[in-house]
Each structure stands twice: as structure tokens, then as C-alpha cells.
Amino acid sequence: MIPHPYLLYLGDSTDELSVKTCRGVAVWRPELCVGEFRGPRCTVTLGLPHLDFAEAVERGARTLILGIANAGGVMAPQAVEDVLAALKAGLNVASGLHDRLFGHSEIKAAAEALGLELFDVREPPPHLPIGNGRRRSGRRLLTVGTDCSVGKMYTTLALERELKARGVAAEFRATGQTGIFIAGSGIPIDAVVADFISGAAEILSPERSDDGWDLVEGQGSLFHPSFAGVSLGLLHGSQPDALILCHESGRPHMRGLPGRPLPDLKTCLLANLEAAKLTSPDVLAVGVALNTSHLGPEEAHRACREAEDLLGLPCQDPIATGVDRIADRLLACFETSAAA
Amino acid sequence: MIPHPYLLYLGDSTDELSVKTCRGVAVWRPELCVGEFRGPRCTVTLGLPHLDFAEAVERGARTLILGIANAGGVMAPQAVEDVLAALKAGLNVASGLHDRLFGHSEIKAAAEALGLELFDVREPPPHLPIGNGRRRSGRRLLTVGTDCSVGKMYTTLALERELKARGVAAEFRATGQTGIFIAGSGIPIDAVVADFISGAAEILSPERSDDGWDLVEGQGSLFHPSFAGVSLGLLHGSQPDALILCHESGRPHMRGLPGRPLPDLKTCLLANLEAAKLTSPDVLAVGVALNTSHLGPEEAHRACREAEDLLGLPCQDPIATGVDRIADRLLACFETSAAA
């Protein structure tokens, strides 16, 4: 677990996209964030208090979160200096960059000397097991998608919030860097060696004996030719009792692949259910999450209605309307099956 | 490319299973093997001349092949000594062990000092691309399976031999350690980071402009819950025009997973065809390769007939009867489609 509260590092970022990860943490875990650290040329803000490292420590911060993206994923010299200063001020450091903290000998040495921890959240844990596909106890839900970046993490977190508000035990299980900062732990599933994808998913959502839910953040898409292997291993290893299908309305082509159309919702959902049955024979779909941010309100409403009619499942835009009806369906399905 | 001819290292092996990789090389590339190196306690043989390192070099050997398996995949102290002696005698060294040659500083230093090469064939190449799924020229065939270890490599190599005997250009593309020694190059697909599985498969079988075939060695199975992600990424990246389904008759359960039955042939083939269509819309199945080594001759004949009737495809045991009828079907299908 990454110790919290956090100070979010924005460095000298000048565009929204490059601070996407920090923003995800601020949006979903405001209670964990004491402030943001901005360099002199920084032009973006998360609306949190602007703090230097000493001030952040005074307010209780325990870890600096490098949730930024930059050209080539390499740490700029200024970022290295800032990390060293943060360590000296007494902060642990967690990074989502490709360029590992542990790859910088001066950072590693400083952390060791000061007794502080470094977290490279793109680095999978060592000694992952091979998946075994054996049925395990507990209830698990996985978000799957027509494409990458259609709102799987957002949907999973919205459902966690909704279930918790109803007093249902539910834990978000993170599979990507932003999710890992939000959850404080997780496994970057796309960075795992291919042989261990499903094994990693199995230990990410281990057996549980209460009636609560493990809500697993999906990755990629069975229909994305770059990443479908990751999606399938995650699907098998997660052994989901329930799926939510995520989609962005009006997306013109598969992410990064101009000219390649998205699968239709029904084909995509059926393929995921069929593949999931290998390790979870009774898997059910419980809803559709539609990202309608590029549509007007009427179009958005119509898109949700069409998906509902097509699939016979509640369909909501988690950002615009929340996921209450999807949660209703989830709980109804699994009350019924428990009583049956 | 691993320089040949080879000297095959058996060390102090005392069982057949542990020299399986060396045997694969001796069976499929006898013309590349000048001999075998046996330690004093070795009780197995490949039937090749027994040579020490100096003798092997005299006979033209350029690389020592560590194609052995041992407890934990770690190199025994004797094996390290032998590798150093082989280098001193002038041999390059290629290893299929988990324990990397490059992880032993004395081996690395000796190779550098002597100007010789080390090959860790379980180590994927650096800087693999993300798959893009774009249609590329050339003809490709992939072997897929109901399970792991059902004869996919053997079938692929048998087809390469058959096609070459008919004057058809055909190259075996290796995805596992034994295959890589046999081909002299390849990518250990299950050792690749998850995000790059299909990208690795794309560069393994790049576009080609002649009428020849890239014959890609399959791995795992879409129905093996431990490895299906690898199989799917390989299927998408290989972009196969043709599939051969491989199966071992009478296998009681999925490899390593007692109690988990194998999929039936039809379900397995249809799932592979359906998934393959994402990157190769016109993919065809051209045959079934049945490993009938656990059946009597009459049973084997019946099993092949049943598979033929079920799937409408030629079915052969590559070991017992070769793959001539499967090659006939392959060539007929693609003559026809070229003429159409």
C-alpha cells in the first residue's frame, strides 16, 4: 500500500492531458489529497492548495504522487531534483512514469538513506503465479469495453461509490496506474509478462468470504488488436460473476487505429460473456456504461435508450447520471441467485 | 540468428524429459548438429557423436546449445563451468534456461573477452512494438490447439518440411525455446510483456511479397485459463490466412489443471476462427493435426475419421502419417482463392 495522504505533483505541466493521472486521484480520492505541487512554469491546477514539500509534510502528507505524463515517459532533470527534495522533506515517492524511480541511483540512494519508500506503479510485483482457473469464493465484477479508454475505470469507481453508499462492501481493484494511485495498490496488468496475465488477475481479486464485491478495473478490449490478449487474460483471471459493458458513443474508430471500426455492443458483450464462461460459467451482464460526453442531452438519452432496448440491460452514463440503476440490477441479480 | 552448426549440451541429464529441447533440435535439424556433449553422469543420448568442446570446434561447431531443463531452471555449478570451458574452446553459447547466461557475470565477462556471443532464448528482444492489426502482405498459417503441448510445434515443422519438399517457399516462425533453437531465431512469445504480445507476433511474421508461407508456431490455447491471453495476442498478431487445429486424442484434462476438461474440437476451432477474423477476415481452417500416440492403430484411424467427419477437414497424425493431405488442402484453398 502506498502511504497516504498524498501531495500531487504537477511539475511544470502545461496541458490537461499530461496531468490526467493526478486529476483522477483528486477526483476520486479528494480525502487523500492534501495539496498539489506546481513548478514555476506550471499552467494547470487541480484546485487543491498549492504546497511546497515542507508545507505538505506539515499538513500530514506522506507520499508525493508523480501522476504526470511527458514526452517519452522520461523524468526531466527538474523532476529528478524535485523528487530528491521531496525525499529530503520526508515524503515517500510514487511514480507512474515509464522511467523508473529505482532506475535513478541518486533517488534510490536518497530513499534508502532516509528510510523512505519508492513505488514504481508501472512495475508489476515479482513472483506472480501462473493462473489456475480454479473457482474461488467471493463475488467479482469486471468492466469490459468496446475499446480502450472508454470509461472502464470511471465506471468501476462510480459503482464502488454507489455500492458503498448503500452499505454494500465493495473494493475497487486497480489494473492501471491511475487506478493504483487511487486504490493505493493494484497490479499494472499490461506490464505483466504474458504468461502471468491471468495469474496476476487471480491474486488481484483473491477469494473473499463476505457478501461484498471485488470490482475489477478492466483494460483494453477483446476487439482491440493491440491489447486483446491482456483483456482476455484479465477476463479469465478475474473470474467475474458480473460484467458491465463500457462504450463511448460516437467514437469514430478504435483508439490509435484510424479506419478500424468499433464492434457493435451486442457482438462485444456476447464475446465477453462467452470467453468469461471458461472460468465463470454463470457470468451475467448487469449493465451498460455509456460515455456520452460528445453528445447533446437528447442524443445521449436516446443512445442510452437504444442500448437498453438492444441488450435488455440498464444503460447509464456514469458521469451524467451515475450508476444507480446498474447497481440495482447487480444487487437484484445476485439476491435472486442467492435465494434460488 | 544463432550461428550453426550446433553442439547439443546434455550435461549430466538422466531423464528423457529434461533433454526434450535438445532432442527437438536433433530431430528437426540433424544437419545443424555436429554432436552432443555428455557429462560423466549423463545416462541419455540423442544418438549423435559424443564430442568434447575442442572436438566439436574441430568439426565446425559454432554454438553450444543448452537445451536442457532442470529443477528450478537454475544453472548448476557444473553447467556454469562447462559454459566457461565451451567459450574458451571458441563456441558461442545459447541457453533456454530461465537462469540467464547474462545473469552470470563470469560468463558475460568471458564471452566479451573472447569476442563470442551469448543467446538467452527465453529473453524477448528489446523495443517490441505495440501491435497495429493492419493487414500486411504475405501468407501466414498458425497452429492453434485445444491445449498446451498437443503438438503445435511438431505440426508446424512437419508442414514446413512437406511444403519445402514440394518446392513451396515456407519458413517456420518460432515462438518457444525449442522452436527458436531449431529456427535459429524467433521470439519467446510467453515471455513478452503483455502489452506487446500481438506486436511481437507482427514482427515475427512480417510482410512478404513472394507466394511463400510463414508458418507460425502456436502457443497455449484459447481454452487454457492460464495462457489464453498469450494465444489470443499471438492469433491477432499472426494475422493468419490459415489455421490448423492441433489436439491430443484421449488427454484426460487441460495440462496442469486436473478436473478441467478439454474443449471439443468444433467449439475450439470456431472460437479460434471467430477471434482470428478481427485481423484476418477471410481466415480458413485447413486441417486437424491429431496426436494419437496414446491410441492403438485402429483407434487412431477412427479418431482421425471422426474428426474429418465432424469438421469437414483433412485430419492426420503428423508423426504417424505426415501432413500431406493437410498440405494438399492448404494449397488447394489458396490456389482457388488466388484464382477467384
Final residue before a domain boundary, out of A89, A120, A151: A120
Find, among A335, A289, A313, A334, the residue nearest to A158 by Cα: A289
pLDDT above 50: residue B132? yes
For residues B218 and B297, membership in a common domain is answered with yes
Same domain, B245 and B199: yes
Query: Between the CA of residue A314 and those of A22, A300, B226, what are the distances in Å?
Result: 31, 14, 32
3-state secondary structure chain B: CCCCCEEEEEECCCCCHHHHHHHHHHHHCHHHEEEEEECCCCCCCCCCCECCHHHHHHCCCCEEEECCCCHHHCCCHHHHHHHHHHHHHCCEEEECCCCCHHHCHHHHHHHHHHCCCEEECCCCCCCCCCCCCCCCCCEEEEEEECCCCCCHHHHHHHHHHHHHHCCCCEEEECCCHHHHHHHCCCCCHHHCEHHHHHHHHHHHCCCCCCCCEEEECCCCCCCCCCCHHHHHHHHHHHCCCEEEEEEECCCCCCCCCCCCCCCCHHHHHHHHHHHHCCCCCCCEEEEEEEECCCCCHHHHHHHHHHHHHHHCCCEECHHHHCCHHHHHHHHHHHHHHHHC
Q: Are residues B156 and B267 in the same domain?
A: yes
Q: Is the pLDDT of residue B338 over 70?
A: no
Give tens-digit pLDDT for B163-191.
999 999 999 999 999 999 999 999 999 99
Same domain, A62 and A203: no
Distance between CA atoms of B80 and B101, rounded to whole angstroms? 9
Of the candidates A132, A229, A237, which has its C-beta nearest B232's C-beta?
A229
- Residue B23 phi, psi (nearest 5): -65, -40
Together in a domain, B94 and B143: no
**Are B165 and B248 contained in the same domain?**
yes
Separation between Cα atoms, residue A197 and residue A175, nearest integer Å: 11
State whether A199 and B226 contact (CB < 8 Å).
Answer: yes
Q: B99 — alpha (psi -120 to 50), left (phi > 0) or beta? A: beta
In a domain, A1, yes or no: no
Whether residue B129 lies inside any domain: the answer is: no
Write down the pLDDT at residue B340: 42
Looking at residue B171, its pLDDT comes to 98
A193 touches chain B (CB under 8 A): yes
Residue A336's pLDDT is 53
- Is the Cβ of A197 closer than 8 Å to some Cβ of chain B? yes
Residue A132 lies in a domain: no
**Is the per-residue pLDDT at A338 higher than 70?**
no
Q: Which residues of B touch A260 (CB under 8 A)?
A: 133
The stretch B267-278 carries a mean pLDDT of 98
Minimal C-alpha gap between A273 and chain B (Å): 13
Mean pLDDT of chain B: 96
Domain end (from B91, B120, B149): B120
Do B190 and A190 make contact, defined as CB atoms within 8 angstroms? no
User: In chain B, which residues have their Cβ closer than 8 Å to the Cβ of A234?
Assistant: 229
The ipTM assigned to this model is 0.94
Residues A77 and A35 in one domain: yes
Helices marked H in chain A? 20-28, 53-58, 77-89, 105-114, 152-165, 177-183, 197-204, 228-238, 265-276, 297-311, 318-321, 324-339
Task: Looking at the structure, tell me whether residues B216 and B323 fall in a common domain.
Answer: yes
pTM of this prediction?
0.96
Domain of residue A204, CATH code: 3.40.50.300
Does residue A144 share a domain with residue A115?
no
Looking at residue A74, its pLDDT comes to: 83
Residue B1 lies in a domain: no
| Angstroms from B268 CA to nearest CA on chain A | 12
Domains identified in chain A, total number: 2
- B180 is a domain residue: yes
pLDDT per residue as tens digits for the range B5-43: 999 999 999 999 999 999 999 999 999 999 999 999 999
pLDDT mean over B189-205: 97
The string of pLDDT tens digits covering residues A13-55 is 999 999 999 999 999 999 999 999 999 999 999 999 999 999 9
- Indicate whether A65 belongs to any domain: yes
Instruction: Write down the pLDDT at residue B337.
Output: 54
A72 interaction partners in chain B (CB closer than 8 Å): none
Nearest-Cα residue of chain A relative to residue B256: A132
For the segment B282-286, the average pLDDT, to the nearest whole number, is 98
pLDDT band at A7 (very low <50, low <70, confident <90, very high): very high
Largest CA distance in chain B: 62
B201 in Cβ contact with B131 (< 8 Å): yes
* Amino acid A28: pLDDT: 97
Cα radius of gyration rounded to whole Å, chain B = 20
Return the CATH number at A30. Answer: 3.40.50.720
Structure confidence at residue B117 (pLDDT): 98
- What percentage of chain B exceeds 90 in pLDDT? 95
For residue A126, is it within any domain?
no
Please give the order of strands across the beta sheet that includes B92-95: B33-38, B6-11, B63-66, B92-95, B118-120
Question: How many Å apart are CA B150 and CA B147, to the nearest integer?
Answer: 6
Query: Which of B193, B230, B237 minimises the CB distance to A191?
Result: B193
- Same domain? For B60 and B115 the reply is yes
pLDDT in tens, B54-76: 999 999 999 999 999 876 778 98
d(CA A243, CA A217): 11
Can you give the pLDDT at residue A69?
A: 85
pLDDT of residue B155: 98
The verdict on residue B193 lying in a domain is yes
Instruction: Answer for the pair A133, B226: CB distance below 8 angstroms, yes or no.
Output: yes
Domain stop point among A92, A120, A148: A120
* Alpha-carbon gap, residue B3 to B102, rounded angstroms: 18
Q: Where does the pLDDT of residue A335 fall: very low under 50, low under 70, confident under 90, or very high at 90 and above?
A: confident
Up-side HSE of residue B26: CA atoms within 13 Å toward CB? 21
Residue B253 near residue B146 (C-beta atoms within 8 A) = no
Average pLDDT, chain A: 96
pLDDT in tens, A192-234: 999 999 999 999 999 999 989 999 999 999 999 999 999 999 9
| Domain coverage including residue A167 | 139-339
Same domain flag for A215 and A319: yes
Best mutation target among B193, B195, B254 (most A Cβ atoms within 10 Å) is: B195
Chain B residues with CB under 8 Å of A199 CB are: 226
Q: How far is B194 from chain A (nearest CA, A)?
A: 4
A263-292 CB burial, b ≥16 within 10 A, e <16 = bebeebbebbbebbebbbeebbbbbbbbbb
Pairwise CA distance, residues B61 & B306, whole Å: 47
φ, ψ at A243 (rounded to 5°): -120, 145
| Grid coordinates given for A72 | 517519452
Size of interface A-B (CB pairs under 8 A): 120
Give A251-309 pLDDT, tens digit per residue.
999 999 999 999 999 999 999 999 999 999 999 999 999 999 999 999 999 999 999 99
pLDDT category at B339 given cuts 50, 70, 90 is very low
Query: Which pLDDT score, from 0 to 100, does residue A70 have?
Result: 75
Residue A340 has pLDDT above 50, yes or no: no
Q: Please choose, from the candidates A116, A113, A121, the residue with its C-alpha nearest in 3D space to the C-alpha of residue A53.
A: A116
B235 versus A74: which is more confidently predicted? B235
* B80: Cβ contacts below 8 Å, ≥ 6 apart: B104, B106, B107
CA distances from A66 to A14, A79, A80, A92, A120 (A): 15, 9, 11, 11, 10
Mark whether B206 and B105 lie in a shared domain.
no
Query: Would you put residue B124 in left (φ > 0), alpha (ψ -120 to 50) or beta?
Result: beta
**Position A171 pLDDT exceeds 50:** yes
Whether B203 contacts chain A with CB within 8 A? no
pLDDT at residue A82 tops 60: yes
Residue B66, all three cell numbers: 543448452
Tell me: cis bond preceding A5? Omega within 30 of 0 counts.
yes
Sign of CA dihedral A204, A206, A210, A214: positive
Residues from chain A that touch B222, judged by Cβ atoms under 8 A, are: 232
